[in-house]
Amino acid sequence: MSGILVVGAGGHAKVVIATLLAAGETVEGLLDDQPSRWGSMVLGYPVLGSLEQLEKPDSRAILAIGNNRVRQTLSERYPEMAWVSAVHPNSVVHSSVRLGAGSVIFAGAVVQPDTTIGNHVIVNTAATVDHDCVLEDYVHIAPGTHLAGQVRLEQGAFLGIGSAAAPGVRVGAWATVGAGSVVIRDLPPHCVAVGVPARPRQAKDQP
């Protein structure tokens, strides 16, 4: 079977490649729609060209782009793709956890029992997700984020570095929680919420 195509050649792709290699996978190269990146190397792997190469039959690929909207757009553009997930061997993921296609769990992360993780979700470095949480498709929890039990993050929610969510809270779809903020009450969709406790600052979608 051919190696994995890594989509996106930015900083997030470096950590995705490191995670794939640590998990024993083979990387073929990277794809990026920015021509200036073609022919360059990322961690010793070549940027092979544009995303058109995803149309080759039997390709296996992973979306290595931190922006939640971009991952949604690309996954919808290639509905037949066999998206690969990546789980770092130095993470702890309980056997009862359901993990969707194309999702990544980076080094040092812990995901506790009966949590459900959707498609193209990022559980970033050293984040923790406690029991019975639900992370819907395209969610990203940044490094060092901590979710208590039974937290629900709706589609596309982004939680910034070092943020936290108290037991049972719900963060609305495409909401942004600022770095270091603590969610203690439900947040509405499409808000930007910051502070301790996190309060919606304005109605604004993610970039």
Ligand X SMILES: CC(=O)SCCNC(=O)CCNC(=O)[C@H](O)C(C)(C)COP(=O)(O)OP(=O)(O)OC[C@H]1O[C@@H](n2cnc3c(N)ncnc32)[C@H](O)[C@@H]1OP(=O)(O)O
Residues that bind ligand X (CB under 6 A): 66, 124, 142-143, 160-161, 176, 178-181, 192, 194-195, 201
The torsion angle over the Cα atoms of residues 183, 184, 189 and 193, rounded to 10 degrees, is: -40
The least distance separating ligand X from the CB of residue 193, rounded to whole angstroms, comes to 8
DSSP string, 80-126: T-EEPPEE-TTSEE-TT-EE-TT-EE-TT-EE-TT-EE-TT-EE-TT
- 45/158 with CB nearer ligand X: 158
**Using CA atoms, how far apart are residues 140 and 50, in angstroms rounded to an integer?**
25
Q: Which are the catalytic amino acids?
A: 131
Find, among 168, 178, 173, the residue nearest to 200 by Cα.
Answer: 178
Whichever of 91 and 124 has its CB closer to ligand X, that residue is 124
CB 95, min distance to ligand X, A:
27
Nearest approach in angstroms of CB 168 to ligand X is: 23
Nearer Cβ to ligand X, position 100 or 178?
A: 178
Instruction: Return d(Cα 204, Cα 191) in angstroms, integer.
Output: 6
